[in-house]
Amino acid sequence: MPILAGQIAFYYLAAASVASAILAVTRRNPAHSMLWVLALFMHVAGIFLLVGAEFLAGVQVIVYAGAILVFYLFVLMLLDLPREAAGPPFGAHWPLCAAAGLIFAALLWYAREPGLVLTADGSAAGGPPRGSLLAVGTALFTLFALPFEIASLILLAAIVGTVVVAKRKTES
């Protein structure tokens, strides 16, 4: 892919990701927010494709856009949030959140400085290419096995908590 076309595709995907993330948090209807989150997940998968991480793009679509988003939608339907949907979309702390977002954007802009961030080629010395299935699987089941299991326990606790909250709501 020529450099110009790749840059245009990246800037489109990045701008669409930021726009859909902003729209996801500013919509009053939670179902509409979920649709914007879906758009965000798809654009992030496109960014993964641009950098050559096809496995991560597939995982992004299957796990996040498929499973996690459906899970959030089920939670949304179980909790039935008419009060929250009718209220204001932001609390009293929105200026603080906006300031934190601007500071984060400034830090990202500063990180563009050449020499500030170490760069590496597509593969480690003698290892599989980064982002490939072999590299991700090796890292996941060797170096990151404990954090992977901890994340699965946290997700299990979230599922159990959702069921408990939904059950209490139907009993009362």
pLDDT in tens, 65-78: 888 888 877 777 77
Structural domains of the chain, count: 1
Give alpha helix (H) positions in 51-172: 54-59, 69-79, 82-86, 94-110, 133-141, 145-171
CA distance 146 to 148: 5
Query: For residue 15, how many C-alpha atoms fall within 13 Å in the half-sphere facing its CB?
Result: 6
pLDDT of residue 99: 86
CA distance 138 to 136: 6
Looking at residues 158-167, what average pLDDT do you find? Answer: 82
Provide the residue range defining the domain that includes 84.
Answer: 1-89
Strand partners of residue 123: 129
Q: Per the domain annotation, does 126 fall within a domain?
A: no
Can you give the CATH number for the domain in which 35 is found? 1.20.120.1200
Looking at residues 137-165, what average pLDDT do you find? Answer: 85
pLDDT of residue 43: 93
- Model confidence at 164, pLDDT cuts 50, 70, 90, reads confident
Q: Per the domain annotation, does 72 fall within a domain?
A: yes
Q: Per the domain annotation, does 67 fall within a domain?
A: yes
Q: Per the domain annotation, does 51 fall within a domain?
A: yes
pLDDT at 118 over 50: no
State pLDDT tens for residues 81-117. Answer: 665 555 566 667 778 878 887 887 887 777 666 665 4
Q: By C-alpha distance, which of 35, 47, 57 is closest to 11? A: 47
CA distance 103 to 34: 26
Question: What type of residue sits at position 40?
Answer: L
Comparing 84 with 126, the larger pLDDT belongs to 126
